[in-house]
Amino acid sequence: MSEERENEVKDTSMQSMMQEEYLKSLDGIEDGQLVTGTVVQVNNETVFVDVGYKSEGRLPLEEFDEVPAIGDPVTVLIVNKEGKGGQVIISKKKADVKARGEELKKAADDKTPVEGKFVKVINGGFEVDLGSDFYGFCPLSKADITRTENPESLLGISDYFIIEKFHGGSKLKSVVSRRDYLERRIKENKEKFFSTVKIGDVVEGVVKSFTSFGAFIDLGGFDGLLHLNDMSWGHVSRPRDFVKKGEKIQLRLINIDPETKKINLSLKHMQQDPWTTFEDNFHVGDVVTAPVTKMTTFGAFIEIAPGIEGLAHISELSWTKRVNNPKDVLSIGDVVQCKILGYDLEKKRVSLGIKQLQDNPWDTIAERYPVGTALSRPVVKITNSGAFVNLEEGIDGFLHVDDVSWTKKVKNMSSFCKEGDTIDVTVTKVEPENRRIRLGVKQLESNPWQTLRHQYPKYSTISGTVSNVTDFGVFVKVLGEIEGLIPKFQLVGPDEEYTDEVLKRFNVGDQITAMVMDVDTQKQKLGLSIREMKRRDQQSEVAKYMANSDDDDTVTLADLISSREEK
Query: Sign of the C-alpha dihedral, residues 23, 26, 32, 37?
Result: negative
Q: Is residue 322 part of a domain?
A: yes
pTM to 2 decimal places = 0.46
Q: What is the mean pLDDT of the chain?
A: 85
β-bridge partners, 433: none
**Mean pLDDT, residues 125-136:** 89
Cβ contact 545:559 at 8 Å: no
pLDDT for res 66: 84
Kindly tell me if the per-residue pLDDT of 126 is higher than 60: yes
Q: pLDDT band at residue 24, thresholds of 50, 70 and 90?
A: very low
Residue 127 or 91, more confident: 127
The answer to whether residues 374 and 416 belong to one domain is yes
The answer to whether residues 89 and 134 belong to one domain is no
| Residue 49 to residue 52: CA distance in whole angstroms | 9
Q: pLDDT band at residue 374, thresholds of 50, 70 and 90?
A: very high
Q: Is residue 561 part of a domain?
A: no
| Residue 379 to residue 388: CA distance in whole angstroms | 6
The answer to whether residues 437 and 473 belong to one domain is no
| Residue 176 to residue 160: CA distance in whole angstroms | 10
Kindly tell me if the per-residue pLDDT of 28 is higher than 80: no
**Mean pLDDT, residues 45-50:** 86
The answer to whether residues 172 and 158 belong to one domain is yes
The answer to whether residues 212 and 256 belong to one domain is yes
Range of the domain at 99: 24-110
The answer to whether residues 386 and 339 belong to one domain is no
pLDDT digits (tens, 9 = 90+) for 474-493: 999 998 788 899 998 998 88
> Which residues 6+ apart lie within 8 Å of 5 measured at CB?
none
Residue 11 or 310, more confident: 310
Cβ contact 325:288 at 8 Å: no
The answer to whether residues 397 and 422 belong to one domain is yes
Cβ contact 185:195 at 8 Å: no
C-alpha distances out from residue 424 to 293, 377, 379, 447, Å: 45, 7, 10, 17
Q: What number of other Cβ atoms are within 10 A of residue 408's Cβ? A: 13
Closest-CA residue to 55 (of 82, 28, 88):
88
Reduce the DSSP state of residue 162 to 3 states and report it: strand
Kindly tell me if the per-residue pLDDT of 1 is higher than 60: no
Cβ contact 259:224 at 8 Å: no
Q: pLDDT band at residue 8, thresholds of 50, 70 and 90?
A: low
Q: Which CATH number is 82's domain given?
A: 2.40.50.140
Kindly tell me if the per-residue pLDDT of 21 is higher than 50: no
DSSP symbol at 510: -
Kindly tell me if the per-residue pLDDT of 424 is higher than 90: yes
**Mean pLDDT, residues 429-451:** 88
Kindly tell me if the per-residue pLDDT of 346 is higher than 50: yes
pLDDT digits (tens, 9 = 90+) for 270-301: 888 888 889 999 999 999 999 998 899 999 99
Report the side by side order of strands in the sheet with 55-60.
55-60, 46-52, 34-42, 73-80, 89-91
> Per the structure, how many domains does the chain have?
6
| Residue 308 to residue 286: CA distance in whole angstroms | 15
pLDDT for res 273: 86
Cβ contact 176:164 at 8 Å: yes
pLDDT for res 11: 52
pLDDT digits (tens, 9 = 90+) for 179-235: 999 999 998 888 889 888 999 999 999 998 888 889 999 998 888 999 988 888 877
- Which residue, 88, 110, 132, sits at the end of a domain? 110
Question: Side-chain half-sphere of 426: how many Cα atoms within 13 Å?
Answer: 14
Kindly tell me if the per-residue pLDDT of 20 is higher than 50: no
- Which residue, 184, 212, 231, sits at the end of a domain? 184
Write the secondary structure of 338-382 as one string of H (helix), E (strand) and C (coil). Answer: EEEEEEECCCCEEEEECHHHCCCHHHHHHHHCCCCCEEEEEEEEE
Q: pLDDT band at residue 83, thresholds of 50, 70 and 90?
A: low
Which alpha helices (DSSP H) does 2-136 contain, by range? 3-25, 92-110
pLDDT digits (tens, 9 = 90+) for 250-277: 999 999 988 888 999 999 888 888 888 8
Cβ contact 254:186 at 8 Å: no
The answer to whether residues 89 and 32 belong to one domain is yes
Q: Strand (E) positions, 43-140? A: 46-52, 55-60, 73-80, 89-91, 114-122, 125-131, 134-139
Q: Is residue 546 part of a domain?
A: no
Kindly tell me if the per-residue pLDDT of 419 is higher than 90: yes
C-alpha distances out from residue 238 to 198, 228, 266, 327, 507, Å: 29, 8, 16, 19, 77
Cβ contact 153:116 at 8 Å: no
Could you tell me what percent of the chain has a pLDDT over 70?
Answer: 89
Q: Is residue 7 part of a domain?
A: no
pLDDT for res 550: 53
**Mean pLDDT, residues 74-101:** 78
The answer to whether residues 157 and 212 belong to one domain is no
Closest-CA residue to 270 (of 237, 245, 306, 223):
306
Could you tell me what percent of the chain has a pLDDT over 90?
Answer: 40
Q: Is residue 283 part of a domain?
A: yes
pLDDT digits (tens, 9 = 90+) for 57-68: 888 888 887 888
| Residue 178 to residue 114: CA distance in whole angstroms | 10
pLDDT for res 426: 93
Residue 335 buriedness (CB in 10 A; 0-12 / 13-18 / 19+): exposed
Q: Is residue 5 part of a domain?
A: no
Residue 551 or 34, more confident: 34
The answer to whether residues 156 and 167 belong to one domain is yes
pLDDT for res 22: 42
> Which residues 6+ apart lie within 8 Å of 480 measured at CB?
406, 407, 448, 451, 452
Residue 404 or 8, more confident: 404
| Residue 466 to residue 367: CA distance in whole angstroms | 47
Residue 495 buriedness (CB in 10 A; 0-12 / 13-18 / 19+): exposed
Cβ contact 210:238 at 8 Å: no
pLDDT for res 26: 45
The answer to whether residues 303 and 253 belong to one domain is no
Reduce the DSSP state of residue 48 to 3 states and report it: strand
Question: Side-chain half-sphere of 375: how many Cα atoms within 13 Å?
Answer: 25
Is residue 307 left, alpha or beta, with left meaning phi > 0 and alpha meaning psi from -120 to 50?
left
pLDDT for res 167: 81
The answer to whether residues 279 and 345 belong to one domain is yes
> Which residues 6+ apart lie within 8 Å of 304 measured at CB?
282, 288, 290, 310, 338, 340, 350, 352
Closest-CA residue to 47 (of 56, 9, 471, 413):
56
- Which residue, 357, 383, 413, sits at the end of a domain? 357
Q: Is residue 563 part of a domain?
A: no
C-alpha distances out from residue 128 to 109, 204, 325, Å: 19, 31, 62
Q: Is residue 403 part of a domain?
A: yes
